[in-house]
Amino acid sequence: GVIVQFGGQTPLKLAQALENAKVPILGTSPDAIDLAEDRDRFKALIERLGLRQPRSGIARSANEAKAIAAKLGFPLVIRPSYVLGGRAMEIVHDEAQLARYIAEAVVVSGKSPVLLDSYLRDAIEVDVDAIADGTGDVFICGVMEHIEEAGVHSGDSACSLPPHSLKPAIVADMERQTVELARALHVVGLMNVQFAIQNDDINILEVNPRASRTVPFVAKVIGLAIAGIAAEVMAGKPLASFGLKRPILDHIAVKEAVFPFARFPGVDPVLGPEMRSTGEVMGIDRDYAIAFAKSQLGGGSKLPLSGTVFVSVKDGDKEKVVAPIRALAEMGFRVIATRGTKRHLDAYGIQCERVNKVLEGRPHIVDAITNGEVDIVFNTTEGAKALADSFSIRRSALIYHIPYYTTLAGALAVTEAIKALRAGSLTVAPLQSYVGKRA
């Protein structure tokens, strides 16, 4: 037999062809894989189970895409069907961006439809990894809360295990839904479910009937060889025979993505739905903020404990950026900001200096970065023009090895990390001292 679960998305596409060629598939059947991968079949399954999904549509022509967009409303996540790593996936905010996407990014046809989903603003994305044996027995390996908001590709988002801010009732409900899905899909082996939590509503983004990229991270954090267990389950061993007990976690681990941006001069390091990371690191501690700080150090970012923070955020983030900037200012950081962001911070009594955007003339923010006057950058944007205008800021921060955060969630997390680092030093302990406790 052949196992197709450990090779990512590509082997899943081969499952049906292998079965047609009379090659036995070990683990989840090709039909169950198709049930999870085929949008129409999966949507019907979610409705039958009484679960929630973001509103969505499938377009097989440019006109259909426009009609669906008019019905769902903007912003939308749009992508080709059956994609790897979120390739050609984009968040579009208006009709002009939708028209440009259809004209430039993809060929829309009956054979290659595009998928349109309502974009859930300010939602928290969550990954759940589980093992099932097809008899109804399901073991939840781990629930990971993403630090970046939904809309950033799961492979590029930092995440914490266990969740650092979700209510226990929400976590328990996601685990229940994962068990329901595993049973309905007749999963044998590993599965991954991606959820988005918006105002305590649980939305299912997708189910992958295979090993996710999070499996090595989860295995290390909980101290269980889940890939090996899943392989034996696929070979016919019942899950109950392993005597698995829920791990008791009195520690927290943060997975952070590692990016190759420094190697590619023309690439914008802003995060979005298309995956761009090429590796991962892990920070572990008994304190979330310290674990996050360790993950940043592991990924190559040395966090400043003092100095100057530059902040320029989109209108939708101006209210929420006040808290981290106030905290940094209270720690003694000098704050510099572009005009609109400064005006908002002034209204809250936060002392900050104005700096020009690049288009406003010199001396501007890139000059300040180049001259070594900036120690950390918070920069969020929305829309193609704002993204293009602020590209040089993010690029300069990258070149000069200045930590930069392009999501508000990242800015909040790093502020907590800096606060924790200032309060005490990092400690190092063997992994074995953290893992191994079972319920």
Is residue 230 in a domain?
A: yes
How many Cβ atoms from other residues are within 10 Å of residue 43's Cβ? Answer: 13
pLDDT digits (tens, 9 = 90+) for 343-394: 999 999 999 999 998 888 889 999 999 999 999 999 888 766 665 667 788 7
If asked whether residues 175 and 260 sit together in one domain, one would say no
The pLDDT, as a whole number, for residue 163 is 95
What pLDDT is attached to residue 192?
96
Could you give the CA distance from residue 99 to residue 87 in angstroms, rounded to a whole number?
18
Final residue in a domain of this structure, among 197, 229, 247: 247
Q: Are residues 229 and 191 in the same domain?
A: yes
Please check whether residues 79 and 106 belong to one and the same domain: yes
Is residue 428, in this structure, part of any structural domain at all?
no
- Do 162 and 298 fall into the same domain? no
Q: Between 63 and 131, where is the model more confident?
A: 131
Query: 93 falls in which pLDDT band (50, 70, 90)?
Result: confident
**CA distance linking residue 200 with residue 216, whole number of Å:** 29
Angle value at C-alpha 13, between 11 and 15, nearest 5 degrees:
75
What are the C-alpha distances in Å from 229 to residues 84, 136, 182? Answer: 26, 16, 16
Q: Domain check: are 94 and 157 in the same one? A: no
Predicted pLDDT of residue 81: 66
What CATH number is attached to the domain comprising 320? Answer: 3.40.50.1380
In a shared domain, residues 261 and 401: yes
Dihedral sign computed on CA atoms, order 395, 151, 189, 82: negative
pLDDT exceeds 60 at position 439: no
pLDDT for the residue numbered 266: 65
Phi-psi region of 185 (alpha: psi -120 to 50; beta: other; left: phi over 0): alpha
Residues 193 and 47 in one domain: yes
pLDDT digits (tens, 9 = 90+) for 4-40: 899 877 788 888 888 889 999 999 998 998 898 887 8
CATH code for the domain in which residue 181 is found: 3.30.470.20
- Residue 288 lies inside a defined structural domain of this protein: yes
In a domain, 173, yes or no: yes
The whole-number pLDDT of residue 87 equals: 58
Which of 212, 247, 282 is the last residue before a domain boundary? 247
Residue 431 in domain: no
Q: Which domain holds residue 275?
A: 256-423
> Does some domain include residue 430?
no
pTM, entire model: 0.87
- The count of structural domains within the chain is 3
- Same domain, yes or no, for 269 and 346? yes
Residues 215 and 131 placed together within one structural domain of the fold:
yes
Query: Where a domain ends, among 118, 141, 163?
Result: 118
Residue 433 resides in a domain? no
Q: Is residue 432 part of a domain?
A: no
Q: What is the per-residue pLDDT for 307?
A: 97
pLDDT at 100: 83
User: Chain-wide mean pLDDT for the chain?
Assistant: 88
Q: Are residues 208 and 343 in the same domain?
A: no
pLDDT digits (tens, 9 = 90+) for 117-160: 898 888 899 999 999 999 999 999 999 999 877 667 777 788 99
Question: Residue 82 belongs to a domain with what CATH number?
Answer: 3.30.1490.20
Q: Name, of 13-22, 33-42, 63-72, 80-89, the range with top average pLDDT.
A: 63-72
Q: Give pLDDT tens digits for 414-429.
A: 999 999 999 988 888 8
Same domain, 159 and 106: no
Instruction: Mark whether 232 and 281 lie in a shared domain.
Output: no
Q: Starting at the edge strand that comes first in sequence, how are the strands of the sheet with 76-80 ordered?
A: 56-59, 114-118, 76-80, 90-92
